[in-house]
């Protein structure tokens, strides 16, 4: 498998970081159309401590998140000035989980662009383990300027009655 983007290159595009970066490398890319990512699932993933002790299973929502991040690489890689943009998850349709994903599995995530109109994109995603379908979903996201997002004020830094800093 050829590596198109390694983990360092992925971090240049996506804002996610450990422990929430859920794609390790990209092995196929058809710009503006399709992308294939790899997530190596290991026992030392922090979520396995509680899901489930003695019977570790990767949570389905994290498989969907890995799909969204892989799709984000496809979409952000296709726009000018990707560092000024962010792709926000806005919907999931038709999510189905076909087999458990466990430590030692290699998750192959295939994302295909269905539609990109305005700032909204829709991607079809499938995740495989050893050529068996593990999960699938259609994911909708919106492309926004990072500068348009307001940073939250820490709760302890403001007085509730006045909003003044303490």
- Catalytic member of 34, 51, 99, 119: 51
51 is catalytic: yes
The span from the CA of 166 to the CA of 164, in Å, is 6
The span from the CA of 159 to the CA of 165, in Å, is 6
Q: Is 164 helix (H, G, I), strand (E, B) or coil?
A: coil
Contact criterion met (CB below 8 Å) for 43 and 103: yes
Strands (E), the chain: 25-30, 34-40, 85-97, 106-117, 120-129, 132-145
Which residues are known to be catalytic? Answer: 51
């Amino acid at each position: 498998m050829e590596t198109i983007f390694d983990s360092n290159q992925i971090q240049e595009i996506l804002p996610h970081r450990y422990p929430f970066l859920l794609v390790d490398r990209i092995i196929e890319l058809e710009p503006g159309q399709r992308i294939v990512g790899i997530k190596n699932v290991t026992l030392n993933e922090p979520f396995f401590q509680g899901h489930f002790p003695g019977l570790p299973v990767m949570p389905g929502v994290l498989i969907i998140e890995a799909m969204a991040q892989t799709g984000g690489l496809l979409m952000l890689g296709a726009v000018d000035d990707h560092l000024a943009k962010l792709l926000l998850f806005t919907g999931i349709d038709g999510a189905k989980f076909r087999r458990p994903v466990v430590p030692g599995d290699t998750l192959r995530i295939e994302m295909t662009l269905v539609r990109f109109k305005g700032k909204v994109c829709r991607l079809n995603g499938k995740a495989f383990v050893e050529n068996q379908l593990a999960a699938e979903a259609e994911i909708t996201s919106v492309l926004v300027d990072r500068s348009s997002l307001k940073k939250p004020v820490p709760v302890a830094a403001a007085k509730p009655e006045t909003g003044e800093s303490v």
